[in-house]
Copies of this chain bind each other. A is one copy, B any other.
Amino acid sequence: MDDYEQLIARLERGTLLRALAPQQLDDLLARSTRVDLKRGQTIIDQGDENGDFAVFILSGTVKVSMVSATGREIILSYSSAGDVVGEIAMLDQQPRTATVSATEPTSVLVIPASAFQAAALANPASMAGVMRALASRVRQLNLVVESDRTFSMAPRLARALVRLLDPADPNGRRLRLHPSQSDLGAFAGIARENVSRLMSDWEERGIVRRCDRALEIVDREYLELLAEFGAEE
Contact = CB atoms under 8 A, between A and B. Distances in A.
A105 to B, nearest CB: 27
A130 interface: yes
A74 interface: yes
Interface residues of A, number: 43
A214 interface: no
Nearest to A143: B97
Copy number in this complex? 2
A123 to B, nearest CB: 9
A139 B189 contact: no
Interface in A107-122: 120-121
Interface stretch (A1-9, A85-93, A170-178): A85-93
A23 interface: no
A146 interface: yes
Contacts of A88: 135, 138-139
Given A88-B138, A145-B145, A150-B74, A120 B130 contact: no
A16 to B, nearest CB: 11
B138 A137 contact: yes
Nearest to A134: B134
A230 B70 contact: yes
A142 B76 contact: yes
A97 B145 CA distance: 12
Contacts of A134: 91, 131, 134-135, 138
18 contacts: A70-B230, A72-B150, A74-B146, A89-B135, A91-B131, A91-B134, A91-B135, A94-B136, A94-B139, A97-B139, A97-B143, A98-B142, A120-B124, A120-B127, A137-B138, A138-B138, A141-B141, A144-B145
